[in-house]
Copies of this chain bind each other. A is one copy, B any other.
Amino acid sequence: MSASQIDAVALDGAGPLYDQIRRAIRDLILNGAWPPGTVVPPEHALMERLGASRMTVHRALGQLAREGLITRRRRSGTIVASPPASHAMLDILSIPEEVRGLGHEYSYRILARRDGRALRPVVALFELGRAVEVVRLTVLHYADGVPHVLEERVIHLATVPAAEQEQFVAIPPGDWLLQNSLWSQAEHAISAVAAEADQAKLLAIGEGEPCLLVERRTWNQGDPVTAVRLLYPGGRHRFVGRFGPYGNV
């Protein structure tokens, strides 16, 4: 932890002190200023830097630990945690992980790639107001050689410029983005649709068969990152979740 890093912790004067500290550190993590693995200053250092008591700093860090943003160990100190790969029913972000978790062999194929200006539906989807440069990809994912899910994706080059050079030969675009971009907000929608002729052919099912459509849009600090439509053959897939009346108590 360098001096510049600890100096980055700045309070805003709004609300309780412990919460100012919590939000200050949380924002550094969510903004990417303190990426996963960063060593957070020890309590007594923050205490001196911020002029707060140790218990107050401790309270702020304790809450961040409970929220999962940091992990703490006695003597070793506090480090920024890695975001969990998936943390709820629909937050399956890595299709290879999903397929291997089901006990199947994973493979994928890029069916098409077109770089250029976003088409009108994409512009509307992200409420952009103007056409921007994007990468458009169509990917078919296989489980044990059988088509598993059809992916159509748009990546925004303004937010993720490195995508222009990437060929996605070793790693599918969804996983590549997880490693090479930040995201702070996502929205997904799930619905049932009938497979169109070309989709059905790719997925090796009949035209008109029911499919589960998962659409996800992702932003980082308000800037669009990517949008993806995942089409799962209906008969073979269910999404399962567990919860209690007050949440996951």
Residues of A within 8 A of B (CB): 26, 30, 67-69, 81, 83-84, 87-91, 183-194, 208-213, 232, 234-235, 237-247, 249
Question: What copy number does this chain have within its complex?
Answer: 2
Instruction: List B contacts of A186 (CB < 8 A).
Output: 242-245
**Pair A240/B67 contact, Cβ less than 8 Å:** no
**Pair B190/A212 contact, Cβ less than 8 Å:** yes
Instruction: List B contacts of A208 (CB < 8 A).
Output: 208
Contact of A191 among B68, B69, B238 (CB under 8 A): B238
Closest to A190 in B: B239
Q: Tell me, in angstroms, the Cα distance from A47 to B189 when the chains sit together.
A: 47
Q: Tell me, in angstroms, the Cα distance from A91 to B246 when the chains sit together.
A: 11
**Pair B189/A192 contact, Cβ less than 8 Å:** no
**Pair B246/A67 contact, Cβ less than 8 Å:** yes
Q: Tell me, in angstroms, the Cα distance from A114 to B125 when the chains sit together.
A: 47
**Pair A67/B187 contact, Cβ less than 8 Å:** no
Closest beta carbon of chain B to A71's beta carbon, Å: 12
**Pair A249/B26 contact, Cβ less than 8 Å:** yes
Closest beta carbon of chain B to A78's beta carbon, Å: 16
Instruction: List B contacts of A189 (CB < 8 A).
Output: 238-241
